Structure 1
């Protein structure tokens, strides 16, 4: 296939020389050149198994040493560990194991298991989903021996330790599912959230509030800017403060690749909304997406979050202002009207993708977002205030979380109420 693409590239360049005065042909031929380079870049990202890669031994029993290279993904009844083999073999393995004993980022393990090749299920291309992160082997409930600690990046180890402490503070002082919801909102972790509640978030079109997405970051950043403007901080200073806070937030959650992409997209959309230069801003977002694809071309097809972020950001830029002008009955104070307009504009452009990937369409999404989006900044402020008090005056921690508990109950109550309605939405 590479040879065919190279021939297409040569012919296209020749055509560009011949038709350089025909603007339409130039646009078409330049598009073909970009398409050809895209195919070549994608092919270059494909890997081939050999005896030095762990996935060469898929479907066989294997004993190897590996280091945990990502924060453990803790679920209700199991935990997923992303490990990277060390020694003669290289490559990542996704382990599914029991909740206990606990393992942490940077632990050196000896693993004895039967490697398997990831497979698609229920229409979900699980193999491609993992491949975009360089994972081609999975192992279920292996024999694990902990050999040592401290084999990860020192800074990331400290960040993940701090994040665990914050999560423990939330879990110790709030009931479920409120604690898991606040942890998802603040720290980007979904562990402990019941599947039934997740389904209702999805059915009501509010799943974005518990996902680290470009839309999530843009809405919260805009509301933060509106709040700073309301207390008479200049627009430039407010934008700078929010940018610094955004960087700090990405550091707090450990710079996962998906969140980093979402942060870049969200910041660019925020810049676009506050600069007012629609066309230039759209080009900037397209350029940023292109750079991300050059780094990892697999995310175009296999990272739904990337697709949704791009669609949401373009929706914000092109439709947010138009929708906001039609929402005159919604109060403008503290950016409430603007945040609702952003949510609705993003849902317009992401709805086709959501239906295509998940088979969901929500009829109640506009109403539910209008009801809960304005209170999200208060929830986050209350959550961080509770965390702050727990670190300074631990004896007052329980009382410090009371205000945010009522706000969390309101949001969850709204989602549950509308999610239970028979006309809330449908699944294809």
Structure 2
């Protein structure tokens, strides 16, 4: 077997589906009064309420009588919602909550601070400092920066979300492998003179802290873990196989939480990475430009999910990615530099912010024009799961055929398998 971990992942995927399909959600999750005590690990300020993550629960405060900070240890009293009843139209919100790794949802208007956790206090202060500084420096473009650097997608307007969706560039506003790789390259450059093992240790520690700060969602964990393991392979073994690494991470996530398989961000993140690893090389032989070949490759396995979940197909995704991908690394680095220089030189910060805002406004302008092209987005009223199944059966049959062919070639020592 060329990639045994890929087979293990497929088995776990099937088992995860069987385990969660008929079991329903926990029967204990009824509308009942509950009291919990835990650390405020994250905070999301939404239009009508503030949402906290406490002791593995999503806690919604609609009255907003309290202003809790990340890192505070609080006692919460409220009503725990029945996740089995949280289904709206065709969207099973209760299952989505479980897919993100949460125990449940609580509506509460009573919080009592009983202590604090210094680790999360400092991490929360850093996150809020970055958010507020970006808002001060970038004003109306700060939501874009906060979304892809701090995971605050909820700050984006409906118009912005629709623009990214119609142009096939939504992956840019969600922290993914693209963003973590850019950050890793920046960190590796800054600490380039350090011994390799120390460099690896620093890189992994910084990325783990970053993933905790921005939310530790399945897609973020996959992205950070993938980069960390790939760097580890390079530093220690000089050899790596991306698909095996991806299969290992996905398997561990499913073992930890079988409901992860229903998380759309995880699905898109996993399939996009797998698609790029598998198809990019063969596409690049015909399409010489990296951005074009990677965009086409990523869409091969993700387009059915986009079609079925979001009810549309972004025809202009290649153009949209050609517009934004070359600039996203520059925008991310300039955003980080503007934070770093803000405490030391306001003049340098102003120059960085001016250049960065110009780039962001240019990208927004082009994407907005692309999103308004009628033929650029095919709206689907009633997506059909049958088409999705047929598509994946054909694609994965082809992939299995190529795997078997490669294994046969390996027996004759024709080629290897490192990607």
TM superposition score normalised by structure 1: 0.72
Match of 2:368 in 1: 416
Match of 1:59 in 2: 31
C-alpha contact 1:243 1:267 (8 A) present in aligned 2: no
Match of 1:321 in 2: 281
Q: Is 1:105 equivalent to 2:70 in the alignment?
A: yes
Give the drift of 1:106.
3.2
Q: Which has the higher contact order (CA 8 A, sep 6+)?
A: 2
Give the drift of 1:399.
4.1
Task: Give a deviation string over 1:160-179, Cα, whole Å, max 9, x none.
Answer: 21111111111011121x10
Task: Give a deviation string over 1:113-155, Cα, whole Å, max 9, x none.
Answer: 443223011322110111232333332xx323443441x4x32
Task: Give a deviation string over 1:306-362, Cα, whole Å, max 9, x none.
Answer: 21122111111122122333334xxxxxxxx43443233112221111112221210
Give the drift of 1:249.
4.1
- 5+ residue gaps, structure 2: 2-6, 381-419
Give the drift of 1:293.
1.4
Give the drift of 1:221.
6.5
Match of 2:41 in 1: 70
What secondary structure, in the 3-state scheme, does the structure 1 residue paired with 2:338 have? helix
Give the drift of 1:394.
4.8
Give the drift of 1:412.
1.5
Give the drift of 1:77.
4.4
What secondary structure, in the 3-state scheme, does the structure 2 residue paired with 1:401 have? helix
C-alpha contact 2:211 2:221 (8 A) present in aligned 1: no
Give the drift of 1:105.
2.2
Match of 1:304 in 2: 264
Aligned residue runs from structure 1 range 23-422, under 5 A: 48-49=26-27, 55=29, 58-60=30-32, 62=33, 64-84=35-55, 92-97=57-62, 101-118=66-83, 119-132=86-99, 133-139=101-107, 142-150=108-116, 152=117, 154-176=118-140, 178-218=141-181, 220=182, 245=203, 248-254=206-212, 256-258=216-218, 259-266=220-227, 280-300=241-261, 302-328=262-288, 337-394=289-346, 397-422=349-374
Question: 1:238 and 1:370 mapped to 2: Cα distance?
Answer: 34
**Alpha-carbon spacing, 1:69–1:374, altered in 2? closer, same or farther (3 Å):** same
**Alpha-carbon spacing, 1:399–1:99, altered in 2? closer, same or farther (3 Å):** farther
Give the drift of 1:94.
2.9
- 5+ residue gaps, structure 1: 1-22, 24-28, 85-90, 329-336
Give the drift of 1:373.
0.6
Give the drift of 1:391.
2.5
**Alpha-carbon spacing, 1:237–1:263, altered in 2? closer, same or farther (3 Å):** same
Give the drift of 1:375.
1.0
C-alpha contact 2:169 2:321 (8 A) present in aligned 1: yes
Question: 1:65 and 1:349 mapped to 2: Cα distance?
Answer: 41
**Alpha-carbon spacing, 1:326–1:243, altered in 2? closer, same or farther (3 Å):** farther
Question: 1:240 and 1:343 mapped to 2: Cα distance?
Answer: 34
Q: How many residues align?
A: 367
- Say which is worse superposed, 345-354 or 256-265, in terms of deviation: 256-265
C-alpha contact 1:223 1:377 (8 A) present in aligned 2: no
Give the drift of 1:416.
1.3
C-alpha contact 2:338 2:353 (8 A) present in aligned 1: yes
What secondary structure, in the 3-state scheme, does the structure 2 residue paired with 1:64 have? strand
Task: Give a deviation string over 1:240-289, Cα, whole Å, max 9, x none.
Answer: 979955752442342514212222235567899999989x4323322332
TM superposition score normalised by structure 2: 0.74
Task: Give a deviation string over 1:353-398, Cα, whole Å, max 9, x none.
Answer: 1112221210111011112111111111111110011122357544
Question: 1:365 and 1:239 mapped to 2: Cα distance?
Answer: 39
Question: Which of these two proteins has the greater Rg computed from alpha carbons?
Answer: 1
C-alpha contact 2:40 2:71 (8 A) present in aligned 1: yes
Q: Could you say what the CA RMSD is over the residues aligned between the two structures, in angstroms?
A: 4.1
- Say which is worse superposed, 262-271 or 396-405, in terms of deviation: 262-271
Question: 2:325 and 2:9 mapped to 1: Cα distance?
Answer: 40
